[in-house]
Amino acid sequence: MSRLPPFAHLTRQPPMAARKPVKRVVHGVTLVDHYAWLRARNWQAVIEDPKRVPPAIGTYLRRENAFAREAFKPLAGLQKDLMAEMRGRMREDEAEPPMKDGEWLYYERFRKRQQYPVFCRRKIGSRREQILLDGSKEARDVDYFDIGATQPSPDHGLMVWAADITGSESYVLRVRDLATGNDRDRISRTNGEVVWGRDGRFFYYIELDSSQRPYRVMRHRLGEKQRDDVEIYREADSGWFVGLDVTQDDRYGFISIHDHETSEVLLLDLDDAGEVPVPVFPRVQGVEYEIDHHAGDLIIRTNHGGAADFRIVALPVGETDLERARVLVPETPGRMLLSVHVLKDWLIWSSLGEEGPRIHIRHWETGAERVLAPRAAIGDIAATVGLEYESNILRLAYSSPVDPEVTLDLDLATGAETVLKVQDVPSGHDPAVYVTERVFAPAPDGETVPVTILRRKDTPVDGTAPALLYGYGAYGYAMDADFETERLSLVDRGFIYAIAHIRGGTEKGFRWYREGKREKKINSFTDFIAVAEFLVAEGYAAPKRIVAQGVSAGGMLMGGVANLAGEKFAGIIADVPFVDSLNTILDPSLPLTPPEWVEWGNPITDEAAFHAMRAYSPYDNIAAKDYPPMLVIGGLTDPRVTYWEPAKFVARLRATMTGGGPVLLYTQMGAGHGGSSGRFEQLDDIARVFAFALEVTGLAAGSG
């Protein structure tokens, strides 16, 4: 018996956006945009305050949300069940293991039924807890709340804390007196990063410009007004990000400036608030580096010298010629060196290659080395060096798609391990019920694409199962093989959950990233489609029962896949999708456009880059054909992928497609790029996505 098509109860027509053509000529090509009006003229104000959205745009987005709610109305019970399941796997009073800093242990924990964490500390040897910041209390009168820095002063008497209350990633800093709990010194329009001066009387922070870009470093003296703060550094190039950090030994603060392929670091003397930041060495196009400090040397992770997969070198402070650096860790082609950390007696670095992540440890004096791998054949390992420099403790976290996370402290001197936390799944979890696999899908050009698969052992691999296929493939970001309890709600209903490690990430080294960017971006799309075809060919998934999902740049992937091969999918989920790619990268006034030119190419000045982007930009390649059901999600205060990208994409799709669908647009009217901020509200977001996946694969009816 044939089943009803997805969302068959929808009888009324979806909203149709007005067409108001805007024309312009770029490199001799006339571009016509019928939905440019959906971009508010006061978009900067809307990102800061969603109530300022123009009436016509707000009305249209609310109509789209009403249509989406009507589509999901029969799935309300299923969504409720999914949320209950996911919440049942969550320990509501969860606490993170403490981190030692001097005589204090700092940690965060949750209270039952509370959306936001509590930040706490206690003295070593004492059980008396001091609550420093109660997230749920601070979030009481706002719809959105995200905490940035919680940075104690050097004497532990004060704490700078940062909060974003709109989703715009514009943080307000406050200084809290930890003896009284009172706040002072309010500083607005920051990116949430803070570095204290050593005397605890001043700190550095980063201010945002009118386009939400972190562009200058300011020094604030306690008790003074923000208008009196002093500019320490300003980045004149709008294509560069500015960040703040401190070396592990607290000897230097530093300003990090970078785009996606070049970086520069300037040292700050934390003893002298008046000192001018000093560059480690001059900015060189294509050279990336990051630093730490050890015994008078800067320890530098860099691609200098043609080390595409990076290496680690040492250079005396004050020396500016990288040619004179001594190599500590040479490049290993095909294994990306991801990070470097320094303790007084230990050098620690992480790497990633086709065989998975590794943590490397070397004793400074003896040169003895140890390499740590995930405890499962397909799994994840992460390391944290903590808050102190003269420490032998390395905090490790192990997990796999089937194994909950185990957090432990490794004593690097003795090898002793102390298990601090095993992720609890209150509703129960038996890893033996599940299986995870790593397979390789052939791409059209002969490359092989790694695929991580999670399924129940009793789910047959006979070509009948539905699947959710997740992909990203940009910025060199690699997808971890870690434990996510939410996935089990699909897997327990017979889904195959698959992650496509497509080009654009670094799962196979820097080359894998390079082969999925700029003029080669199309490889990300064709890799993903090849993985879908492979899942069907190998019996992991039934034809046309695969749901594709991607977020942000992965949402661009979803738009491209919909245009190229939408007929192969039961449904497509594009979350905060970068789908109006060409128009966005042609507009240097938008928050992330100038920094993105090195990732995608600059279509303003480079005609070849323009034609390359125009050939794959999802919004510009919508075709008169049938499209599968699609769920497209945006955030009104999103500064990364502005709300009008998904809105315009859906409007043009509806006006162009010849059949299929439905296409649903849901805009978070009070949230940004990360969706809802509360931990239970986030489950509601996931339940909506999973209910869509179950509906389009025919499993929603009777599922619960």
Residue type, 351: S
Tell me yes or no: is domain 103-248 CATH 2.130.10.120: yes
Positions of E strands within 488-602: 496-500, 546-551, 571-575
Rounded-to-integer distance, Cα 172 and Cα 302, Å: 33
> CB within 8 A of 552, min separation 6: which ones?
472, 575, 576, 577, 578, 640, 641, 673
Q: Which pLDDT tens digit goes with each residue over 311-345?
A: 999 999 999 999 999 999 999 999 999 999 999 99
What average pLDDT does this structure show over 250-271?
Answer: 94
- pLDDT value of residue 138: 97
Rounded-to-integer distance, Cα 336 and Cα 31, Å: 40
Active site residues: 552, 638, 673
Listing DSSP states for 443-503 in one string gives PTTS-EEEEEEEEETTS--SS---EEEEE---TTPPPP----GGGHHHHTTT-EEEEE--B
Find, among 126, 128, 106, 110, the residue nearest to 118 by Cα: 110
Residue 203 has pLDDT above 60, yes or no: yes
Six-digit token string for 25: 């000529």
> Model pTM?
0.97
Positions of E strands within 41-182: 99-101, 104-109, 118-123, 130-134, 146-152, 158-164, 171-177
Six-digit token string for 556: 């661009």
What radius of gyration, in Å, describes the C-alpha atoms of the chain?
25
Q: Which pLDDT tens digit goes with each residue over 14-48?
A: 999 999 999 999 999 999 999 999 999 999 999 99
Rounded-to-integer distance, Cα 459 and Cα 269, Å: 59
3-state secondary structure of 14: coil
Rounded-to-integer distance, Cα 517 and Cα 601, Å: 9
What one-character DSSP code corresponds to residue 19?
A: P
Strands 202-208 and 183-196, by their bridges, are antiparallel
What average pLDDT does this structure show over 212-230?
Answer: 96
Strands 434-442 and 406-411, by their bridges, are unpaired
Residue 282 has pLDDT above 90, yes or no: no
What average pLDDT does this structure show over 496-508?
Answer: 97
In the structure, what pLDDT confidence band is assigned to residue 210 with cuts at 50, 70 and 90?
Answer: confident
In the structure, what pLDDT confidence band is assigned to residue 1 with cuts at 50, 70 and 90?
Answer: very low
Q: Which pLDDT tens digit goes with each residue over 643-679?
A: 999 999 999 999 999 999 999 999 999 999 999 999 9
Q: Which pLDDT tens digit goes with each residue over 620-640?
A: 999 999 999 999 999 999 999
Rounded-to-integer distance, Cα 365 and Cα 360, Å: 16
- pLDDT value of residue 17: 98
What average pLDDT does this structure show over 164-180?
Answer: 97
Summary count for the chain: helices (H), strands (E): 13, 39
At CA 487, angle to CA 486 and CA 490, rounded to 5? 115
- pLDDT value of residue 468: 98
3-state secondary structure of 199: coil
Residue type, 377: A
3-state secondary structure of 432: helix
Rounded-to-integer distance, Cα 169 and Cα 160, Å: 17
Residue type, 584: T
Find, among 87, 72, 183, the residue nearest to 133 by Cα: 183
State the distance between the two ends of the chain, measured CA to CA, in whole angstroms.
22
Rounded-to-integer distance, Cα 136 and Cα 149, Å: 16
Rounded-to-integer distance, Cα 303 and Cα 321, Å: 14
Rounded-to-integer distance, Cα 69 and Cα 74, Å: 10
In the structure, what pLDDT confidence band is assigned to residue 4 with cuts at 50, 70 and 90?
Answer: confident
Contact 293, 342 (CB under 8 A): yes
Q: E strand or H helix at 83, and its extent?
A: helix 76-88
Find, among 241, 209, 169, 211, the residue nearest to 599 by Cα: 241
> CB within 8 A of 458, min separation 6: which ones?
433
Find, among 249, 228, 426, the residue nearest to 343 by Cα: 249
Rounded-to-integer distance, Cα 321 and Cα 316, Å: 10
Give backbone dihedrals phi and psi of 147, rounded to 5 degrees, phi first.
-95, 130
Mean of the per-residue pLDDT values of the chain: 96
Q: Which pLDDT tens digit goes with each residue over 417-474?
A: 999 999 999 999 999 999 999 999 999 999 999 999 999 999 999 999 999 999 999 9
Strand order in the sheet with 496-500: 434-442, 448-456, 496-500, 467-471, 546-551, 571-575, 630-635, 663-668
| % of the chain with per-residue pLDDT over 90 | 95
- pLDDT value of residue 275: 76
